[in-house]
Structure 1
């Protein structure tokens, strides 16, 4: 008889409206699909069941209802998915309450935050019995399971049909590859070697999903899609050959994609997100985005122009107030925007998205904050913002990117920036379709 395990997504107590709300969270579906071969698994996604609290009153009610739901189930183990730092306070709260009420229950925690900041879970009288670092397969190390191997996350076959929160949704998320060999300074991806699901098996998975669910939208949540050119080209060719009609979403880099890729992509229903991150050559170097900013930005223009020509919806994502951002780098951004982007790309199928830098554990900036402080005058108002009982969206972004020789801080003028980007996006085509695809709401 299998031991009983509760897989718990603890929700986010202070993230407010930060991020998308996805009912079928891909990482939860994959964890469930893996664990059910070894345990009798019950899944509780507190965000799905009790929404995301935004006020103190809502948080009190959320905790009360969630705890009642959790304690109604008797299990041997509780595995908490502390997927990101946003889940830290809720993971800790529910672990303490469960251990207080059911001290014999073993509590396991895993995710990005435990991988990077395990000391947040390993302390005297901690309610956590085990901390799992890295990918979900590592949970089997705890049990010294005979079937433990070093297989990759994308090799897990997601079982959407039996997942408790599947309700004939037409948008699903999958992984076809893991890892990213690039070392951007702000990124939390810990697996540096990219690996992809064999193309034959990837196509079989997509065909199986198409047959069982008839999805309208398949989001490919790889950290960086198609790092290997041959794999990427073969996968796209097979998707075209199969004539799969649903929409796809993927995220990748402009310096990986070429015209042959785009010609194939144009024969699919597809939206691409390009993590460009800056129009400033100086910032691209500081971010360790590329060693050749001139070629990188030239490739951006060429790829986006080709996307416009082929009518491919695509987004460029930018980041501002990263450590080292200054008046000089913002002027570089403005010049490239005005001379290249507005002149060559406006009115097509491109939209520009932006966000402020967030100080997340696991990134190069996090691990070398003192170096950025010494070099640029970078300062963090909340070095451990995930432990603060206030708006995490604001707290994680409360940084000074740089100070000048007089000691005056610099911040990107976001109101000015926002207006320019909104004006650009108003001219872009297929607005209604873009909004649905961007929200994962087809």
Structure 2
């Protein structure tokens, strides 16, 4: 066997005979020995002195020999891989040729003007025929995001110079700055490009033409998908005569307006809740109004109840508490009674103040306290097991406020 490489002019490599004719040894991984014609096939790779060669074709005599000697037909010839020398002989792509022509034409016009020639105005005829003719489209953009909304625009396409202008239609009390120009009049490119360095070559500009503006379709404006949904009568007449196309408007379903209700910030724990709320309602906070008449009438009236913890903890079974509610300001206080060998000290368990009922979300009222009631005070569950004589009498005298503690009929009849 021998291996030779065809010579290519100016390749920069020494070409010709690669391996002289001799018996080439076969790698030990393939069984050793030397290569024979049985080891050669189109589409197969062979290793010659640590270099891998792939067989991509064979001549007609070789194919006839293998068919007669071994009774098999080799596969078709494979395509030669592309390299730098073969690529140099291929014609240039059309976009590269057009770019070169544009550069050469620009240089030619510059040289003509430099030697005293006149400047050509290629769009003069277009300007004379279409001056003051403007296509008008109604568009919108659904802004995606947490605070996104639908924004409406008016798109003007100037037929005189193929420029586009977009004006934003700001609704009343929109909260946006009063600068309605969304896209200043200029050619609108399909392939926007930002030059990183001054002087760099930019790709050929692909601008939007009238045939690209169809009602019901979208266009890309700086990464925003703008939907064209309607146009005016002049634009419809233009497309009938220019493209034979009937522009059909789309009925837009406006999203329903949602009025967000303002909410006061949560209570921060400083002062009373009414006092903190008054600072949110005005710049000059006023002290919250208090029911003075109630304070004067019920200042000395206190309902005291006996309660136990209802948390099913064995250590808390024998603990007893006094739960009192003052009728003057509806403040609630809890005190623990002294129990011998209970392991808990007597005294104040919850300071006297207005407390909220977690079950209803409102302040505790006297009607929430009755024998057998279950209350959650300072995250501790209590069950009322009794009341003093004064509390029982007061509840019986006011059945409209304490319907659960109303006196039974037999007892009322006995009193009568």
Same fold (TM over 0.5): no
Structure with greater Cα Rg: 2
Structure that is richer in helix per residue: 1
Structure that is richer in strand per residue: 2
Higher relative CO (Cα under 8 Å, sequence separation at least 6) belongs to 1
TM-score by length of 2: 0.15
